[in-house]
């Protein structure tokens, strides 16, 4: 069976140094049948300039989806990117997650009708995040445990993710106690399935809007598949100034309602007020 063409949606906001590293990662993917939409929640001109520079000589098409900065509206720009996506399969990730060379290929190989894929990430400390340069990404050495350990502290969990290959990775994905949830840094789904639940709930801010989307996918009959040890990306460190207790509490209340009422559709998504 032919592997699906993929639209990769990368969420970003005013972090050009990290986004640059991420785009280097997507420039050396083993699977080439994809395009990129950068879902930009109101970054300054600096981000546009970076994207325009990459566009001049990049192996796949890049589209910059931007809206004005009116506070945290990430779910709104992600919904716009879903609608814009030209391919039937969508891979979601963030502008601070460098993909391993087989990242897109792994999602393509495991894509299956009736499922969404749930990946994880290797969270790096700030010193290693800052050390990684263009050549480290293009040579793939930044995914080697030894190289990373030489740069700073690396957790045992990350060492296992980075070193697990083939049969071991498959085994770990089966036995991991971590649930196969929808994680915006590393998950993929069919566009039609996302449209069927009306995309992201735009009321939600930081703290679980991706999980909530995944919970509605499941309520709508979509199953989950775990690929956290197969689809590897490096999560670069950053501050979270937009994280507030108020938004966390509101998001938890929305998710509790979705669970209690088995909701499949949000009235605050791609289409407003419809069901």
Q: pLDDT tens for residues 146-204?
A: 999 999 999 998 999 999 988 899 999 999 888 889 999 999 999 999 999 999 999 99
The 10s digit of each residue's pLDDT in 45-64 is 999 999 999 999 999 999 99
Going through 4-140 in order, the beta strands assigned E by DSSP cover 6-12, 34-40, 62-66, 89-94, 97-99, 115-118, 122-123
Q: At residue 126, what are phi and psi to the nearest 5 degrees?
A: -60, -40
The pTM for the full model equals 0.96
pLDDT of residue 208: 82
**Residue-level pLDDT at 94:** 97
Rounded average pLDDT over 236-250: 79
Buried b (16+ CB within 10 A) or exposed e, 200-234: bbbbbbebbbbbbbbbbbbbeebebbbbbbbbbbb
pLDDT of residue 241: 60
Residue 14 tokens, joined: 């005013």
pLDDT band at 243 (very low <50, low <70, confident <90, very high): low
Is residue 200 within 8 Å of residue 75, measured between CB atoms?
A: yes
Taking CA atoms, 156 is separated from 138, 140, 226, in Å, by 25, 20, 20
Q: Which of 189-193, 224-228, 251-255, 271-275 has the lowest mean pLDDT?
A: 271-275
Long-range contacts of 148-154 (CB under 8 A, 24+ apart): 148/124, 151/127, 152/124, 152/125, 152/127, 152/128, 153/125, 153/128, 154/124, 154/128
**Which residue, 268, 83, 118, is CA-closest to 192?**
83
Structure tokens at 21: 């590293």
**How high is the pLDDT of residue 28?**
98
- Rounded percentage of the chain residues whose pLDDT exceeds 70: 97
Chain center to CA of 108: 14
Of 128, 103, 89, nearest to 186 by C-alpha is 103
The yes-or-no verdict on residue 132 having pLDDT over 90 is yes
Whole-angstrom distance, CA of residue 38 vs CA of residue 31: 19
The torsion region of residue 153 among left (phi > 0), alpha (psi -120 to 50) and beta comes to beta
DSSP string, 221-269: T-EEEE-TTTS-EEE-----TT--HHHHHHHHHHHHHHHHHT----TBS
The string of pLDDT tens digits covering residues 68-80 is 999 999 999 999 9
């Amino acid at each position: 069976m032919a592997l699906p063409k993929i639209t990769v949606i990368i969420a970003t906001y005013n972090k050009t140094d990290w986004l640059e590293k991420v785009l280097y990662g997507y420039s050396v993917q083993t699977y080439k049948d994809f395009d990129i939409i950068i879902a930009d929640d109101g970054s300054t001109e600096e981000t546009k300039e970076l994207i325009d520079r990459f566009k001049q000589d990049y192996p796949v098409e890049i589209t910059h989806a931007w809206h004005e900065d009116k506070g945290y509206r990430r779910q709104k720009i992600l919904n716009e990117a879903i609608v814009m996506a030209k391919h039937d399969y969508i891979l979601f990730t963030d502008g601070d997650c460098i993909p391993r060379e087989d990242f897109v290929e792994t999602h393509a190989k495991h894509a299956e009708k009736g499922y969404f894929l749930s990946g994880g990430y290797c969270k790096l400390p700030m010193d290693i995040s800052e050390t990684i340069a263009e050549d480290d990404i293009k040579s793939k050495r930044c995914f080697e445990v030894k190289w990373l350990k030489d740069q700073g502290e690396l957790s045992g969990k990350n060492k296992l993710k980075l070193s697990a290959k083939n049969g071991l990775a498959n085994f770990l994905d089966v036995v991991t106690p971590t649930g196969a949830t929808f994680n915006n840094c590393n998950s993929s789904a069919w566009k039609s399935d996302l449209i069927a639940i009306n995309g992201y709930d735009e009321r939600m801010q930081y703290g679980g809007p991706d999980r909530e989307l995944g919970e509605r996918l499941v309520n709508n009959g979509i199953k989950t598949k775990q690929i956290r040890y197969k689809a590897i990306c490096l999560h670069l460190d950053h501050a979270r100034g937009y994280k507030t207790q108020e938004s966390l509490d509101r998001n938890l209340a929305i998710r509790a309602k979705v669970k209690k009422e088995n909701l499949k559709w949000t009235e605050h998504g791609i289409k407003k007020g419809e069901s």
